[in-house]
């Protein structure tokens, strides 16, 4: 993966920890300039800044909610001033709640849909303006296996990731004429994030059904992400890549 993204200007939402941080580190090791957003936990963001810097060039860091249109515009605008544009956007920021439908409040629904779907829309809309002017770019949305497989999952989370799949396909068809590729990468359970939250019985059920018999790693998914946004990927758009161990 050395120099696969040399000189690419990359923005990763939700990049301060978990899968987002793994993606940032992989991009930096591949030669990219990396910026990331986060919403809370300043200590995590500072640690992430240091780890990314150790992999390559210093990271640019932006704090705010991805569901805030002003934050999206200001972040992309700052990158335009600092870097002169943006080549890659990874919509990774996401939120989940392990709740049965009877306990999902309207505020819970709005929160999950706001971060997981509205956030991807707002940042994509902002990033597409400089990408269209440049007539090139990659947008990678991070989905979830629960939108592709019949697996029990919180309804508002599954709905948000299914909506993200539709957003990916629609955007890809609309902006392909400008040389912009839009794809969806959907991991299974990983060694970070939701994979650390699921009850043991649910995890056992997952592992029993998974041909590889294990959860994935953030590093494995980040490596796939680096390929999908690189110049090695010139013809895949509206694609859905599942990394779930064959589930």
How far apart CA 139 and CA 27 sit, in angstroms, is: 14
Is 38 annotated as catalytic? Answer: no
Where are the extended beta strands (E) located within 168-215? 180-187
Q: Which of 38, 157, 178, 206 is catalytic?
A: 157
User: Dihedral, CA atoms, 154, 192, 198, 208, nearest 10 degrees?
Assistant: 110
- Identify which of 240, 154, 145, 239 has the alpha carbon closest to the alpha carbon of residue 190: 145
Tokens of 164: 């993200």
User: Dihedral, CA atoms, 97, 101, 107, 111, nearest 10 degrees?
Assistant: 40
User: Bridge-partner residues for 240, per DSSP?
Assistant: 184
**Are 145 and 187 in contact, with CB atoms under 8 Å apart?**
yes
How far apart CA 151 and CA 146 sit, in angstroms, is: 6
CA-based torsion, 181, 186, 190, 195: positive or negative: positive
- Residue 133's contacts (CB-CB under 8 Å, 6 or more residues apart) are 85
**Distance in Å from the first CA to the final CA of the chain:** 26
The catalytic site residues sit at 157
């Amino acid at each position: 993966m050395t120099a696969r993204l040399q000189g690419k200007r990359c923005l990763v939402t939700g990049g301060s920890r978990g899968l987002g941080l793994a993606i940032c580190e992989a991009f930096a090791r591949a030669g990219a300039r990396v910026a990331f957003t986060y919403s809370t936990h300043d200590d995590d963001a500072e640690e992430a800044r240091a780890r990314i810097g150790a992999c390559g060039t210093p990271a640019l860091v932006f704090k705010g909610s991805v569901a805030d249109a002003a934050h999206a515009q200001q972040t992309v605008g700052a990158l335009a001033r600092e870097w002169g544009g943006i080549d890659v956007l990874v919509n990774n920021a996401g939120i989940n709640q392990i709740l049965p439908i009877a306990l999902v409040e309207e505020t819970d629904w709005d929160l999950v849909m706001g971060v997981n779907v509205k956030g991807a829309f707002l940042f994509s809309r902002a990033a597409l303006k400089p990408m269209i002017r440049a007539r090139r770019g990659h947008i990678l949305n991070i989905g979830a296996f629960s939108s592709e497989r019949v697996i029990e999952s919180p309804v508002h989370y599954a709905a948000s990731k299914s909506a993200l799949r539709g957003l990916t396909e629609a955007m890809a068809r609309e902006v392909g004429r400008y040389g912009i590729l839009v794809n969806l990468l959907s991991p299974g359970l990983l060694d970070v994030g939701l994979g650390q939250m699921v009850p043991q019985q649910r995890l056992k059920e997952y592992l029993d059904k998974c041909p590889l018999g294990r959860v994935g790693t953030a590093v494995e998914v980040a490596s796939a992400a680096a390929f999908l946004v690189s110049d090695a990927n010139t013809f895949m758009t509206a694609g859905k890549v599942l990394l779930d161990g064959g589930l």
